[in-house]
Structures are given as C-alpha cells and as structure tokens.
Amino acid sequence: MVYLDHAATTEVRPEVIAEVAAGLGALGNPSSLHGHGRTARRAVEESRERIAEVLGSTPHEVVFTAGGTESDNIAIKGLYWSRHGQDPRRRRIITSAVEHHAALDPAHWTAEHQGAVHESLPVDDRGRVDPRTLREAVERDPDSVAVVSVMWANNEVGTVQPVAELAAVAAEYGIPFHTDAVQAVGAEEVDFAGSGVSALTVSGHKLGGPVGTGALLLARGLAPVPVLHGGGQERDVRSGTLATPLVRGLATAVGLAVAEREKHTDHLASLRDTLEERVRAVVPDVVVNGDTDRRLPGISHLSFPGCEGDALLMLLDAKGISCSTGSACSAGVAQPSHVLLAMGADPDTASSSLRLSLGRTSTGADVDALVEAIGPAVERSRAALAKRRGGR
C-alpha cells in the first residue's frame, strides 16, 4: 500500500503515541484543585509553554481546541460576534476565495444566520491573494469589517500566502486577522508574533499528533465570543475538560515538526520535484497547479486533461495507492474544486485533478509505484470519459 494523502492526515509519530499512552492511565481533571488535578494542570501548562516557544507566542495566547475546524469557527464566528457586538456597523467577514471549508462555511453560516456580510477576495492563477486586493476591500469601508481570515498555505494546491503583508494591511485599520496555518506548521517557518497575525489555527493530525487535538493562538486583548459555553476553560474561549494526554501529544508533535522542519522540507521538495518530473515523462500534458515558486514542499496538485479526478483516484486505489482529489473534508462530493475554479480553471480542468501529498515517511518507492500506475490509469480514464461523452 502506498499512501500519498498526508495533507489529509499523516502518521502519528511514535514519540507521540508513547506520550499519549503513558498519560492515559493517569487520574486528574486539570480544572480540579486537588493534587491529581494540579498534576494534570501542570502537564497542560507545560504543553502550552512548549507550543508557545516554538510558534512564537506567549503561553497565555495558546488556547487548546479539538482541532482545526473548531479553531477556525471560534476565530471567525467568535470574533465576528465580539466585534459586531461592540459596533453594529462591523458586519463584514473577509476571506480568500480559496479557504478550506472549515473557514468558508463558518463565514457563510454567519452571513446566513447572524446578519454578517461575507466577502471573498479573488486570487490569481497561482491561488495567491494580492495584499492590494485586501487593501481595496478594506478601504471601501474600514469601520464595517469585523474580521479577515486568509489561510497561511492552501491545503489543495499548496500555495503559500503573503500572510505578513496581509496581516499588516488589516493591522493598519485595527482589524483582527486570522490565518489557518494547519498545513503550514512544520512545513513553513511559522512565527505568530513575527507574522503580525491576531489569531492562528493549528491542527494535531496534520503534523504527527493525535486526531482531535488543535490550538488557536489568540493575541492578548482579543476576546471572541465562545462557540461553546460551559466551564469557562481556556480563557473562557473554549469550555470543556481538556484531554491532558492528547494535549501533551499535540505539544510533542508540534515541537518535533518545528525542530525537524528544514530537514523534512528539503526531503519532501526533492521527492515532490522527482514525482512531477517522472509523471510528466509518462503523461506529457499534465498540468502542475499552484504557485510553483512558493508552495508547500509536500503537495503536488496535478490536472490530467481529458480525465475525471474521481475516476483516477479509484483506479489508483485499485493499485493500492491512496491520494485525493482535494480536501478530505469534501471527499465524495461530486463537484469541481472551488480552489481551482477561483484560480480561473474551467470546470473540466477543475474536475480532472489529483492532490498527491507527501509526508515524513514518504519514499522514492512510493513515487515509483505512482509512476508505474498513473499512465494506464490516465489512459483508462480518458477512454471512459470520451466514450461517455460520445454517447450523449
């Protein structure tokens, strides 16, 4: 079996498994005041300090969550409710058109149910937001903007956004800027304070941590209205009893991912470039999507003219190769990628694509297996699509 879907989820690191397993038998709610509770609280706070140290924040700015989707929801809904509550004119939520649905859907929901106005910033054919585009959108009415959210790096095509420049534009007008950095941590140098962002999303299972863990880095002075109400944990931003072993596992995964970043990214970029070169030799008209000058090292997003991505995925799966047509959260949804459409691709091209994503354990043998299978898969997919269209 060959796994080329690390952007969807990647292996839990052995060190993380050991850390989580060691803590599962320990008693103690970190909110309790007795000795067992204080021991659990100490483990949580040490984890918070470890994450803050490697991501350039203070420990107080680290809010633990259940993952990227929850963090995005808190940032977008919570900051909208807070800012709109302070000033009813602040109704606009600005995102890029290529956000993950974990950010787009909260923005859509808030517009449909809470009186917000959601605006999508266009991107160029590489999937990149021009800071001038954000400035133009803000300057139409700065006082009406509640929050801006643009992801650090795209989960489908891997394009890295000019986050610091975008955050600087928002900061000029006192507007909170959130970035979903789920794909970036461990692949890019992520510095919360240095980037100038107000809120930043992290997810454990994208970098070798447990599924169901994440964090929202939240600058001092920001107080989003909670999405969950209950015990008031995590600065009253995210109520709920913390799973101490999972929090420790998250901190270990983040620490290792950041420490090994340069070595890891060099390996991935070299493997990705080899993959694309060899696939092009077999399928000469393949198209590489995204910003090839500034993208994540482990993502190769390819369009195969005359094919259907879903058909290619299943043909490769039959050969024991796992990949995706885009976000795993949208798997099974028969529609073109909203990311490629926003980049100017026509619907046929947007439907003909595969995301091949590499991870820490990917090898040259994985590339060999893909190259051997992709040519016949493309031929079968093209023949099937041509036959179906010819029969219409």
Query: How many structural domains are present in the chain?
Result: 2
Tell me how far apart the alpha carbons of residues 176 and 145 are, in angstroms, rounded to a whole number: 9
pLDDT at residue 389 in the model: 79
**Is there a single domain that holds both residue 248 and residue 289?**
no
**125 and 232, same domain (yes or no):** yes
Of 350, 253, 260, the C-alpha closest to 13 is 253
Residues 292 and 254 in one domain: no
Global pTM? 0.95
Query: Which of 239, 259, 279 is at the close of a domain?
Result: 259
CB 299 within 8 A of CB 158: yes
Residue 327 confidence (pLDDT): 53
Crossing angle between the packed helical segments 309-318 and 364-390, to the nearest 10 degrees: 130
Same domain, 137 and 30: yes
Q: Kindly report the CATH number assigned to the domain that includes residue 365.
A: 3.90.1150.10
Residues of the chain with pLDDT under 50: none
Which residues make Cβ contacts (< 8 Å) with residue 143, sequence separation at least 6?
A: 87, 89, 90
Same domain? For 252 and 330 the reply is no
What whole-number distance in Å separates Cα of residue 180 and Cα of residue 75? 10
Tell me the backbone φ, ψ of residue 180, rounded to 5 degrees. Answer: -85, 105
Task: Please tell me whether residues 201 and 270 are part of one structural domain.
Answer: no
> In terms of domains, do 69 and 39 share one?
yes
Tokens coding 105: 């859907």
| 269 & 148 share domain | no
Residues 178 and 201: beta-carbon distance below 8 Å: yes
| Catalytic-residue membership of 307 | no
Q: What is the pLDDT of residue 392?
A: 54
The pLDDT of residue 149 is 98
Q: Spot the catalytic one: 225, 329, 371, 385.
A: 329
CATH of the domain at 76: 3.40.640.10
Question: What is the model's pLDDT at position 332?
Answer: 55
Range of the domain at 266: 2-8+261-390
Considering the domain architecture, whether residues 219 and 248 belong to the same structural domain is answered as: yes
pLDDT of residue 387: 81
Domain final residue pick, 236, 259, 282: 259
Is residue 53 domain-shared with residue 118, that is, in the same domain? yes
Alpha-carbon gap, residue 327 to 346, rounded angstroms? 19
Q: Which of 207, 236, 259 is the last residue of a domain?
A: 259
Give residue-wise pLDDT tens across range 29-44. Answer: 999 999 999 999 999 9
* 228 and 311 both lie in a single domain: no
Are 224 and 369 in a shared domain?
no
